[in-house]
Homo-oligomer: A and B are copies of this chain.
Amino acid sequence: MKAADQQTAEGILFTDQYQLTMAQLYYRMGMHEQYVQFDHFFRKYPDYGAHQAGYCINAGLEWLLNWMQDAHFRPEDIAYLRSQQSRSGQRVFDDNFLAWLCEQRPFEGLTIRAIPEGRVIHPGVPLTIVEGPLARAQILETALLNHLNYQILVATKAARMHDSGQGRPVLEFGLRRGQGKGANAGARAALIGGADFTSNVGISHVLGYPPRGTHAHSMVQVFMALGMGELEAFRAYAEVYPDESLFLVDTISTLESGVPNAIKVFEELRRKGYEPLGVRLDSGDLAYLSVQTAKMLNDAGFPNTSIVLSGDLDELVIWQILTQIRDEAPRYGVDADHLIRRLIYGVGTRLITSQGEPALGGVYKLVAVRTDGQWTPAIKIADSPGKIPNPGHKHIWRVYDQRGKASVDLLSLDDEDPRHMDRINLRHPSDHTRQRVLEQYQITAIEPLLVKVLDRGDHVYDFPSIEDIRRLRQADVERLDAGVRRLVNPHIYHVSLTQRLWDLKQQLIGAALRSA
């Protein structure tokens, strides 16, 4: 795409046509300034087929706010909208509406409360709450969903890989497999969720992270095509990057050529006073090869060099590799724990695409309208009770149990504060048979989860650094029950309504069913 076109396609027109036609309808009906609230939330954890998430990681908010700050109706955008015609040649958008669009910035008057990036999040809990004039909140929908859904998806996948890899470094290198420029959002989300580095140079620079990488098969092939070999390629690499010698050893044969050649060059490096970094295995049986490679490196006096594994890794593959290593390593005289501590995981396709579940079904639903200063909750009846959004202007709380573990996310009415309740009646969001009572002695803390990021159009939030976001994520994941973190068939984390919110929801459902 040409640069000028990119400005057009990524600015305020980065939306669905119906947002603009609905906005004009609201304008023509005099409803455009009606003050409303939309909640952004997802209905279920990503399900990767053979396994599923038990928690998600929030991400994408800062980039959404950046986009909102820059996006505006430029004269050329308005000219384009003016040129749109219906089937009979009538203009789709009239001058009055277009003039209104340009009167103020597009998101003027919107207030946003949100759960910060990096926090653990769950289905049915509003993550981003947008309130303000109807037409402006409507125009935001597509861009909001685009920015948040994908980053949550990838941050969640990265957290699973980090967990499955037992905290050993995870390198993101999916740039070539992402959806065009969207791969940058994926790299950011991967870092938030649990990747420790990315190979993506530009995004590393922007986020203040050192990019990481080794070399490709093509480097070895170039040397071979020019009449040299793998050994010469490694030597050249060691000469140029004596501090960072990490060799890809599977171009010819991992155990017969790659590792022996790497060891030769490691020895040469050490004689020059450098410590080699390690090797990368990119094909074959990674568990078996890593055991054999570790043995060869140990025997050669390099017991601390890293072993980078890559090649269609995801959380299950990593888990299987570790299981196999624990089983096989002792048979070859290799200490499994020691080997695992030297592993690094390079993950590409399956992280950047969230393979198995390549989209998060996050939605943006009207939950309240305000008239004369009073919020009126709105409800939408759906084909299944679990799909009915939780109505009204709400607060979100996280309740920690006696062990300090997060035990429930609680949605309450605006005027409720569970910190001042003697006991909390927890209601399942849709199943009336499921409820339980929490006494205060069972609770160590109740934390409000929302922060205000936009106040009537003004940006009022200092976005934390990626490092700080990562710390939030790590702390939140550690406060989850082990069962909720389980890779396969995780335990269900509780999301509950207060009794009063439950009562309100039932009353609204009843009224809606009677009137339908």
**Contact call B1/A219, Cβ cutoff below 8 A:** no
Query: Closest residue of chain B to A256, judged by CB?
Result: B516
Determine if B284 and A212 form an interchain contact, defined as CB atoms under 8 angstroms apart. no
Q: Which residues of B contact A179 (CB under 8 A)?
A: 150, 178-180, 182-183, 185-186, 352
Task: Give chain A interface residues in 1-48, CB to chain B under 8 Å.
Answer: 1-3, 5, 8-11, 13-22, 24-26, 28-29, 31, 34, 36, 38
Question: How far is B364's CA from A466's CA once the two chains are assembled, in angstroms?
Answer: 33
Contacts of A243 in B (CB 8 A): 86-88, 90
- A376 CA / B224 CA spacing, docked (Å): 12
Give complex CA distance A180, B253 in Å.
Answer: 39
Produce 1/0 per residue, A194-237, CB < 8 A to B: 00000111111110001111111111011011100100000011
The 8 Å CB contact of A18, one of B9, B138, B214, is B214
Asked, given contacts A180-B146, A199-B16, A205-B9, whether A353 binds B359 with beta carbons under 8 Å apart, the answer is yes
A173 close to chain B: CB less than 8 A:
yes
The contact string, 1 if C-beta is below 8 Å from chain B, for chain A 70-91, is 1000000000100010111010
Instruction: Say yes or no for A425: interface residue by CB 8 A criterion.
Output: no
Beta-carbon contacts under 8 Å, A130-155 to B: 134, 138, 141-142, 145-147, 149-151
Whether A218 lies near B366 (C-beta < 8 A) is yes
The interface residues of chain B lying within 8 Å CB-to-CB of A361 are: 177, 349
| Chain B residues in 8 Å Cβ range of A221 | 365-366, 378, 380
Question: Chain B nearest CB: distance from A81 CB in Å?
Answer: 8
Hey, which chain B residues are within 8 Å of A70, CB to CB? 2-3
Contact with B along A262-298 (1 / 0, CB 8 A): 0000000000000000000001100000000000000
CB-defined contacts of A80 to chain B, threshold 8 Å: 205
B residues near A181, Cβ cutoff 8 Å: 10, 14, 180-182, 185
Instruction: Identify A17's interface contact among B134, B212, B352, B376, CB under 8 A.
Output: B212
Is the C-beta of A358 less than 8 angstroms from some C-beta in chain B?
Answer: yes
Contact A86 B237 (CB under 8 A): no
Is the beta-carbon distance between A213 and B17 smaller than 8 angstroms?
A: yes
Q: Which of B2, B17, B34, B202 contacts A10 (CB 8 A)?
A: B202
Cα A48 to Cα B176 in complex, Å, equals 20
| A428-472 vs B, Cβ < 8 Å mask (1 yes, 0 no) | 000000000000000000000000000000000000000000000
Name, among A80, A349, A359, A364, the residue most crowded by chain B CB atoms within 10 Å (CB to CB). A359
Tell me, rounded to whole Å, the shortest Cβ–Cβ distance linking A193 to chain B.
15
Task: Answer yes or no: A474 CB below 8 A from chain B CBs.
Answer: no
Task: Tell whether, in the assembled complex, residue A180 and residue B378 are in contact, meaning their CB atoms are under 8 Å apart.
Answer: no
Considering the complex, give the chain B residue whose CB is closest to the CB of A371. Answer: B226
CA A244 to CA B90, docked complex, whole Å = 10
CB distance from A205 to the nearest CB of B (A): 5
Known: A25-B236, A26-B222, A199-B16. A251 touches B380 (CB 8 A): yes
> B residues within 8 A CB of A178?
146, 150, 179, 182
Query: What is the CB-to-nearest-CB distance from A310 to chain B, in angstroms, rounded to a whole number?
Result: 12
How far apart sit A31 and B368, CA to CA, in the bound complex (Å)? 66
With contact pairs A222-B36, A380-B251 given, residues A16 and B150 touching in the complex (Cβ less than 8 Å): no
In the complex, what's the smallest C-beta–C-beta distance from A120 to chain B, in angstroms? 22
Across the interface, do B183 and A146 meet the contact criterion of CB distance under 8 Å? yes
Q: Which residues of B contact A236 (CB under 8 A)?
A: 25, 28-29
Query: Are B18 and A213 in contact (CB-based, < 8 A)?
Result: yes
Question: A145 — nearest CB in chain B belongs to which residue?
Answer: B176
B66–A2 touching, CB < 8 Å: yes
Q: Does A507 contact B (CB under 8 A)?
A: no
Q: Give Cα distance in the complex from A447 to B482, angstroms.
A: 61
Asked if A34 and B201 make an inter-chain contact with CB atoms under 8 angstroms apart, the answer reads: no
Q: Is A381 an interface residue (CB 8 A)?
A: yes
Q: Are A205 and B369 in touch, CB under 8 angstroms?
A: no
Shortest Cβ gap from A181 to chain B (Å) = 4
A430 to B300, CA, bound (A): 38
> Is the beta-carbon distance between A15 and B202 smaller than 8 angstroms?
yes
Determine how close the nearest CB of chain B comes to the CB of A14; give it in whole angstroms: 5
Say whether A241 contacts B86, CB under 8 Å: yes
- Determine if A202 and B22 form an interchain contact, defined as CB atoms under 8 angstroms apart: no
Collect the chain B residues with CB atoms within 8 Å of residue A21's CB: 213, 215, 240-241, 244
The 3 closest A-B pairs by CB, nearest first: A182-B182, A179-B182, A18-B213
List 16 additional A-B contacts (Cβ < 8 Å) besides A8-B205, A146-B178: A3-B70, A13-B201, A13-B205, A14-B175, A16-B175, A16-B176, A16-B201, A25-B237, A38-B218, A63-B180, A92-B244, A141-B218, A179-B186, A182-B182, A218-B365, A353-B358
24 residue pairs A–B, Cβ–Cβ below 8 Å: A1-B206, A3-B70, A8-B202, A8-B205, A13-B205, A14-B184, A18-B213, A18-B215, A22-B218, A25-B240, A34-B226, A86-B241, A90-B243, A138-B218, A146-B175, A146-B177, A146-B178, A176-B362, A179-B179, A179-B352, A181-B182, A218-B366, A221-B380, A253-B516
